Structure 1
Amino acid sequence: MSNFFQKISNIKVISIKYKEFFKMQAKKILNNVEDIKKIDVFNMNVDIKRMPESIENAIEISKHLIIPKKVNNEIMNIIYTSPENIIIIGMGGSAIGGDLLKEFLLDKITVPIEVVRDYNIPQYVSKKTLVIVISYSGNTEETLNGFKESIEKNAMVVALSSNGLLNEICKKYEIPIILVPENIQPRASLPYLFFPLLIILNKFNLIPLFSKEIDETLTNLKELRKNLDIDVPFEKNISKQIAGKISNRIGLIFAPPRFGAVARRIKCQLNENSKNLAFWDVFSELNHNEVVGWERKLSIQKEFILILLRSNLESLPTKNRINITKDIIFSGKVNEIVEIKGEGEGILSQYFSKILIGDYISFYLAILNGVDPSPVKDISKLKKELKSQYDLIGVIRKIFLI
């Protein structure tokens, strides 16, 4: 029996040594600013760093949007009035803004909001539905098909894009559209794909401008980034430290209620920027299913790093659930547990401070993985193959532009 416990003790010592080794390696790599810049060929770091300025610019651009009384032509007859419901169509980085909007406005708006990540829109969409179509590139086929279906139902369509076919169609038929800056990775353009949504809903007299919340968010982001940038050493940079923990592991992000969109965002950033496996879930739903999957002891469990998003807005029952889940269900099973806490009192500041920390984590993890965070080769391959089999975008172009 003593030999058995000695073996267990040896395994723990080896595990600790491996953690220290990876930490030392991560520290060495992430403290070399010149090497970071060499890997970051397309300057993802710059896009992440300028999040506060992008928010300010996004708001300024959106203020110029004019909602017409109607759009009437040979293809559509849209009358813009007070909507009964709202759907937001988008995919990937272009849809996260809709997720954030829905959670942010949960206790602030009486009109229901749904985010559609699909080729097809819900049957209930009608001329009384406000449809916000988001495609950063303007050429996302699922989004364009949903746009087409919304036009067919004479829904109140407003678009958000940088260019592409979506912009061409809106320009030809005078459909209201907010044009945001080009040449940014869609996932790095989140400020341009969220804050304009607030302006759009304000122009429909559905919500206030939330100036106080936005000001707090900007102030906290400008201060926070000083501690996260590439020239901040590993020892003082929480994003570098967490990236070092996730290196060679799988990220598992759990969030409290109303922070599911943030968890999803961080998961997607780890996928796209870091080229790393990651998964997400939300309390307290995960207490009714996911936790059971961890009952069996499997060696793969030690490949996971549990990232808990925490908030000063957690209710007491939620706080208790998270703590119990952490201490009783996951402690000793996953490789490590880390917590990310946001900045500020308001939920908007909490959202974007966590997102900024997560964006930097994904950036530094990409560096540790030795990959440029910007290119997404497999997504490009998939789009090319889809187009070769059926050119849906070409079909939509013919419907509207010929």
Structure 2
Amino acid sequence: MFFKKGNLDKSNVLGSVKALSQQCTHAYEEANKIMVPENYLVTGNVVMCGMGGSGLGARVIEAVYKNTLKSPLLRVNDYTLPNYINFNSLVIASSYSGGTEETLANAKDAIAKKAPWMAIGTGGALIDLAKSERVPYYQIISTHNPSNEPRMAIGYSIIGQLVLAQKCGVIKFEKSELDLLVNAMNQVEEKLAREFAEKLKDKEIIFVSADFMDGAVHVWNNQINENAKTFSAHFSIPELNHHLMESLAHPKSNRREMIFVFVNTNLYTNEIKKRFRITADVVKQNGIETIEFNAKSDNKLSATFEVIQFGAYVSYYLSALYKIDPGPIPWVDYFKEKMVEKE
């Protein structure tokens, strides 16, 4: 039923999926070589900038570390930084290609505001700017991302940002934690992901998560969109309990076209677990199919990466079911081409 690697998967997305844990180890080794000046030790707020695949790491870090962050953290997925950013702030700008116009604008804004800033990318204008400004940067050597797709470099981007944040005193992230999350990723069963993808075919997918898992499920949602070229949306408990359940009745086609994916873990609080059970019951009473993925890992960071690994496999095998190449993103590329055209 599934195509073999090399048939339609021309850029070897599957190779990148299989190498995600290697990306994590590689990024940890390389990013730890970076020297960070004393004035980069955070006393104010932290801003993480990035778009699309390059913005996924910030979402994961925000979700996992929100209860232990030593400084306020803000994600920016736009052209401008908040007005309050200043010399007490820390700005981390991430662009895999180094050419993302929004992220470049963020870096230049940080310079104008005299805020310490750092860059993450494979090269391009962002890394060139970091070099010219003599600020720390992590230049990704994408050995373990054969597809060269930014969204498939998630191991590099998340771990790179974790290490830089740790060096600046924002969070604690130790080698033992890396070892645990890599082990969790390597335990993910590819066969189960293939079977999971079969249940998602020809469905509009609604992801449901909570708390620290929101970042990982945002990654999964993103990769379903880009790899499988499939509509999906992501909602978080408890917020969805205040509005989304009333939307399920219409259109009537929801019953045959929609599926809810509940991403669960024993690490959720009892209140969240109860909300999951009741929410699933409401969905079923509306005649809509549900499916559940349960993360097995016993700590938040490892469970997060377990879901990222599983979701990457699912997105790949869903593209296989549709008999499409998961690599190209023609409509995103079309949009970018139109944006640079002169009016």
- TM bin, normalised by shorter chain, reads over 0.9
Q: How far did residue 181 of structure 1 move?
A: 2.1
Let me know the Cα RMSD of the aligned residues: 1.6
- Specify whether residues 223 and 296 from structure 1 end up closer, same or farther in structure 2 by C-alpha distance, changes over 3 A only: closer
What's 2:293 paired with?
340
Secondary structure in 1 matching 2:66: coil
- Specify whether residues 81 and 260 from structure 1 end up closer, same or farther in structure 2 by C-alpha distance, changes over 3 A only: closer
Aligned mates of 1:252, 1:334 — CA distance in 2: 14
Q: How far did residue 212 of structure 1 move?
A: 2.7
Q: Find out whether 1:188 has 2:138 as its counterpart.
A: no
Listed one character per residue, the Cα deviations across residues 376-395 of structure 1 (whole Å, up to 9, x for unaligned) are 011111111111137xxxxx
The TM-score normalised by the length of structure 2 is: 0.95
196-205 or 126-135, which deviates more: 196-205
Aligned mates of 1:247, 1:81 — CA distance in 2: 48
User: In the alignment, residue 248 of structure 1 is paired with which amino acid?
Assistant: D
Q: Equivalent of 2:138, from 163, 169, 178? A: 178
Q: How far did residue 297 of structure 1 move?
A: 6.2
Q: Equivalent of 1:274, from 205, 214, 228? A: 228
What's 2:330 paired with?
377
What's 2:33 paired with?
64
The TM-score normalised by the length of structure 1 is: 0.81
CA contact (8 A) 2:217 2:307 kept: no
What's 2:85 paired with?
125
User: In the alignment, residue 25 of structure 2 is paired with which amino acid?
Assistant: E
Secondary structure in 1 matching 2:70: coil
Q: How many residues align?
A: 339
In the alignment, structure 2 segments of 5+ residues that lack a partner are none
Q: Find out whether 1:261 has 2:225 as its counterpart.
A: no
What's 2:277 paired with?
323
Q: Find out whether 1:240 has 2:194 as its counterpart.
A: yes
Q: Equivalent of 1:43, from 7, 12, 24? A: 12
Q: How far did residue 342 of structure 1 move?
A: 1.5
Q: How far did residue 248 of structure 1 move?
A: 1.1
What aligned pairs does 1:106-117 form with structure 2 within 5 A after superposition? 106-117=66-77
- Specify whether residues 96 and 334 from structure 1 end up closer, same or farther in structure 2 by C-alpha distance, changes over 3 A only: farther
Aligned mates of 1:387, 1:104 — CA distance in 2: 36
What's 1:8 paired with?
none
Q: Equivalent of 1:55, from 24, 28, 36? A: 24
Listed one character per residue, the Cα deviations across residues 261-311 of structure 1 (whole Å, up to 9, x for unaligned) are 122111111110000000010000000011111144612342111100001
Q: How far did residue 335 of structure 1 move?
A: 4.6
Q: How far did residue 107 of structure 1 move?
A: 1.9
Secondary structure in 2 matching 1:370: coil
CA contact (8 A) 1:253 1:306 kept: yes
Secondary structure in 2 matching 1:382: helix
In the alignment, structure 1 segments of 5+ residues that lack a partner are 1-28, 70-78, 229-236, 391-402
Listed one character per residue, the Cα deviations across residues 299-336 of structure 1 (whole Å, up to 9, x for unaligned) are 23421111000011111111111101101x11153552
Secondary structure in 2 matching 1:309: strand
Aligned mates of 1:272, 1:334 — CA distance in 2: 28
Aligned mates of 1:334, 1:101 — CA distance in 2: 36
Listed one character per residue, the Cα deviations across residues 73-129 of structure 1 (whole Å, up to 9, x for unaligned) are xxxxxx534331101011011111001111111122220101000001111111110
What's 1:12 paired with?
none
Aligned mates of 2:287, 2:302 — CA distance in 1: 30
Aligned mates of 1:161, 1:331 — CA distance in 2: 44
User: In the alignment, residue 76 of structure 2 is paired with which amino acid?
Assistant: V
CA contact (8 A) 1:213 1:346 kept: no
Aligned mates of 2:137, 2:287 — CA distance in 1: 46
Secondary structure in 2 matching 1:95: helix
Aligned mates of 1:55, 1:265 — CA distance in 2: 15
User: In the alignment, residue 99 of structure 2 is paired with which amino acid?
Assistant: N
Aligned mates of 1:276, 1:299 — CA distance in 2: 17
What's 2:44 paired with?
84
Aligned mates of 1:217, 1:80 — CA distance in 2: 27
What's 1:356 paired with?
309
User: In the alignment, residue 206 of structure 2 is paired with which amino acid?
Assistant: L
Q: Find out whether 1:138 has 2:107 as its counterpart.
A: no
CA contact (8 A) 1:138 1:162 kept: yes
Aligned mates of 1:297, 1:381 — CA distance in 2: 31
User: In the alignment, residue 37 of structure 1 is paired with which amino acid?
Assistant: G
What's 1:168 paired with?
128
Aligned mates of 1:43, 1:342 — CA distance in 2: 27
Higher relative contact order (CA 8 A, sep 6+): 2
Give the percent of matched residue pairs that are identical in Structure 1 and Structure 2: 25
User: In the alignment, residue 54 of structure 1 is paired with which amino acid?
Assistant: Q
Q: Equivalent of 1:205, from 166, 169, 174? A: 169
Aligned mates of 2:98, 2:266 — CA distance in 1: 38
Aligned mates of 1:145, 1:301 — CA distance in 2: 44
What's 2:341 paired with?
388
Aligned mates of 1:215, 1:207 — CA distance in 2: 17
Q: How far did residue 354 of structure 1 move?
A: 0.8
Listed one character per residue, the Cα deviations across residues 118-166 of structure 1 (whole Å, up to 9, x for unaligned) are 0011111111100000001100011111111111001110110101100
